[in-house]
Structure 1
């Protein structure tokens, strides 16, 4: 299992993106979190097998109808405790 932290840039706040990401993760059975950042970006932390996380990332652009992703910066988070569900953080 792998944990990835993604910083998502573009039109990703005020368009239902966090809720759509949560729904996508829950449908795929992936635990993690999503939250808005003061700079207008969104941070996603998600856990799963690398192939599942690749599919999750690939489909992020389809998550919310009015969102527009311009860039995703991804890093692997080593030694993160196991998460059990997916939550929207405030």
Structure 2
């Protein structure tokens, strides 16, 4: 890990596309001071790469489990990964 940062690859399933999930995720990540990205997947899931202090990453995982008001999250899986390729900001990837 770079500079004591934690990094996670996250997959969120359920009703998570077409409900403002990516924009909501970016806003929440920015509030928490996280960097990374979020994108829609062809199978209807949303995936994200989140990097930041451990406590902020854990808070973000909890928030992803709730999602924005129109979402219906069925599951969140997170896998630790290397933070070396962390972007400078949080972006929506198309």
Q: TM-score, normalised by structure 1?
A: 0.92
CA contact (8 A) 2:26 2:92 kept: yes
CA distance in 2, matches of 1:38, 1:60: 19
Structure-2 separation of matches of 1:28 and 1:79: 17
Does structure 1 residue 33 correspond to structure 2 residue 40? no
Q: TM-score, normalised by structure 2?
A: 0.88
Root-mean-square deviation (Å)? 1.2
Q: Closer, same or farther in 2 for the Cα pair 1:83/1:37, shift >3 Å?
A: same
Q: Which runs of 5 or more structure 1 residues have no equivalent in the other structure? A: none
SS class of match (1:81) = coil
Q: Any idea what SS the aligned residue of 1:22 has?
A: helix
Aligned mates of 1:58, 1:52 — CA distance in 2: 10
**Runs of at least 4 residues of structure 1 off by over 4 A?**
none
Q: 1:20–1:64: 8 Å Cα contact kept in structure 2?
A: yes
Counterpart-to-counterpart distance in 1, 2:83 and 2:66: 30
